[in-house]
Chain A
């Protein structure tokens, strides 16, 4: 069991992970309507087809709106919860935090149907707003995970020092705590945004007649002609996700450097 075999295995594993994704740009630029080998030629017409597609544009616009809103709300709720759980002890803490983090392990369909049932029961119309409600629910646990680690990295005596020097709870939060967790806040926004943008099943159940990008993509699956365009769309989405994640990672590392801490690697 030397490092050598492990390395081979690990690289093999990475290839397995990335293999499907690598196909995206391959076939997005491929001049054929069927996704199969051999490759037939280079073309960008699948990309141009996306520009002339009003339903796609609408779906994109909706998704962006939902994602931005959900990430902001989820991050705010995450800040409250992360701060409360890392700083204070109070009765019911375990139970409440468990409930809040539950969506991490619940299958999304359960979340989707239960929300559906309640919303319809109250008489609320399904729309992008109801989608936002669902997305906030599943994004908040991720926000909390990221923000908790940011808050935990804070030396408690920093707060006490600020108090000792005359500041109030609010000004301490504004001047000391917030700047030091800001990288975590930004990471949280980016992660929540990415999750919401890609989320399908809750949107599927709760959007009513509206569409989001994943719903649009799903609806195109039954049309074989649409497949290459989906490849092109997928390529762009993957690039977008990778970009957002790289930015989130840069901020995370910068945050650690700013606070003079050590890198423990990874978000969670």
Chain B
């Protein structure tokens, strides 16, 4: 039995109000995000001509993207870099989040969070450039170590390769990784931990059996928040990656802005996002299956 009387519309108007209120933002997102994403997906299956695009359906772009050795190398490298960055960043971030959540008095917590997030809000370009400066042949690390007498010759393996990219990205995404873990840890009912200790478990075991599983939603969020954007990072590989460190975003930029090959660029973009999505879903599935943590 549904609402029959004149007051029945009262409930329907809540849905109407909600949609109406959301509409400006939703329409903007549909026009500026959904439609363009759909468009490049479409472009990825079109043919590329010298200066234009032939609207003919073809898989050539994808075949090119996946068979061309150079492209494939770059794609795999991008994934590898992202996964390394994610692993390093999240692992290093967890103890910090734990510290702020459990060892900092509540009054000081927002100060710590504030300090941790400030670097994130300063210019990304400048920060990447600073790493270039730090790791360079005549840069800070080398001049410092030379001056201290630790080395005789400047180190060359720290810049213009994958290592530099990983270091720089790990630094840039560190705050991103800390926050979701922190939020998750904060939500843990402290009396659960006290109960664990009360029942005779050691601190470490309590951590493994209570804290860690309950923090998993935060860790998962942290992993995704770092992994997905780093795959598509452009500035860092461009500035500190050198020829060995190029990633997929550099290729995309090349195709779009230099080579004017929109279909191939689109195919690269869609492929990269596709792989990222699959890996993310796989990660979520494994997490749900084997850890059986609380669903966030």
Chain A residues close to B by CB (< 8 Å): 1, 3, 6-7, 9-10, 13-14, 16-18, 20-21, 23-24, 27, 34-38, 76-78, 80-81, 83-85, 87-93, 96-97, 99-100, 102-103, 105-111, 113-118, 121, 133-134, 136-137, 140, 144, 191, 194, 197-198, 200-201, 205, 214, 217-218, 221, 227, 230, 234, 237-238, 241-242, 244-245, 249, 253, 263-268
Residues of chain A with a CB closer than 8 A to B40's CB: 113-114, 117
Q: Once bound together, how far apart are the Cα atoms of A20 and B139, in whole Å?
A: 12
B126 cross-chain contacts in A, Cβ below 8 A: 24, 217, 230, 234, 237-238
Which 3 residue pairs of A and B lie closest in terms of their CB atoms, listed nearest first?
A107-B232, A88-B18, A114-B36
Contact flag A93-B140 (CB < 8 Å), given A109-B232, A114-B39: no
Smallest distance from the beta carbon of A81 to chain B beta carbons, Å?
A: 4
**Is B252's beta carbon under 8 Å from chain A?**
yes
Judging by beta carbons under 8 Å apart, are B134 and A20 in contact?
yes
Residues of B in contact, count (CB < 8 Å)? 93
| B200 contacts across to A, CB distance below 8 A | none
* CB–CB A3/B103 < 8 A: yes
Specify which chain B residues have a CB less than 8 angstroms from the CB of A267 in the assembled complex: 117
The A-contacting residues of B in range 103-151, CB under 8 angstroms, are 103, 106, 109-110, 112-119, 121-127, 129-131, 133-134, 136, 138-140, 142-144, 147
Q: Do A205 and B257 have beta carbons less than 8 Å apart?
A: yes
Shortest distance between the CB of B156 and any CB in chain A (Å): 15
Q: Once the chains bind, are A201 and B26 in contact (CB under 8 Å)?
A: no
Instruction: Contact check, B252 vs A77: say whether CB atoms are below 8 A apart.
Output: no
At the interface, yes or no: B204 with Cβ under 8 Å from chain A? Answer: yes
Nearest A residue (CB) for B16: A90
Closest Cβ neighbor of B145 among chain A residues: A37
Residues of chain B within 8 A (CB-CB) of A80 are 21-25
Do A99 and B34 touch across chains, with their CB atoms under 8 A apart? yes
Q: A1 near B204 (CB under 8 angstroms)?
A: yes
Q: With contacts A84-B22, A109-B234 known, is A13 near B92, CB below 8 A?
A: yes
Q: Choose, from B68-76, B94-102, B288-296, the stretch at the interface.
A: B94-102
Known contacts A20-B134, A35-B133, A89-B18; A237/B34 CB under 8 A: no
Give the contacting residue for B235; candidates A87, A201, A227; CB below 8 A: A201
> Which chain A residue has the least Cβ–Cβ distance from B41?
A114
Main secondary structure of the interface of A (DSSP, over half): helix
Cβ of B60 under 8 Å from chain A:
no
Residue of B nearest to A227 (CB): B133
Complex Cα gap A78–B122 (Å) = 23
Q: Is the CB of B25 within 8 A of A77?
A: yes
Take A133-B32, A238-B123, A249-B114 as given contacts and tell me if A13 and B96 are in contact as well, using a CB distance cutoff of 8 Å.
Answer: yes
Min CB gap A199→B, angstroms: 8
A253–B107 Cα distance when bound, in Å, is 12
Pick the contact of B123: A34, A97, A121, A214 (CB < 8 A).
Answer: A214
**Bound CA span A96–B14, Å:** 17
Q: Is A265 touching B113 in the complex (CB atoms < 8 A)?
A: yes
Within the assembled complex, what's the spacing in Å between the Cα atoms of A92 and B20?
12
In the complex with contacts A9-B96, A83-B21, A88-B15, A107-B110 CB distance below 8 A: no
Q: How far is the CB of A249 from chain B (nearest CB, A)?
A: 6
Closest to B108 in A: A265
Choose one: B92, B249, B262; the contact of A109 (CB below 8 Å). Answer: B249
In the assembled complex, B179 has its CB within 8 A of some CB on chain A: yes
- Chain A residues near B183: list those with CB within 8 A: 266, 268
Contact check: which of B18, B113, B262, B266 meets A93 at CB < 8 Å? Answer: B18
B229 (CB) vs chain A CBs: closest residue = A107
A-B contact pairs, 14 of them (CB 8 A): A10-B95, A23-B133, A36-B142, A78-B25, A88-B18, A110-B232, A113-B269, A114-B40, A118-B36, A137-B28, A201-B234, A241-B122, A244-B121, A265-B186
Q: Is the CB of A77 within 8 A of B129?
A: no
CB–CB A10/B140 < 8 A: no
Q: Taking the complex as formed, is B35 at the interface, i.e. its CB lies under 8 A from any CB of chain A?
A: yes
In angstroms, Cα B99 to Cα A10, docked, is: 7
Closest to B178 in A: A13
Question: With a CB–CB cut-off of 8 A, which chain A residues contact B66?
Answer: none
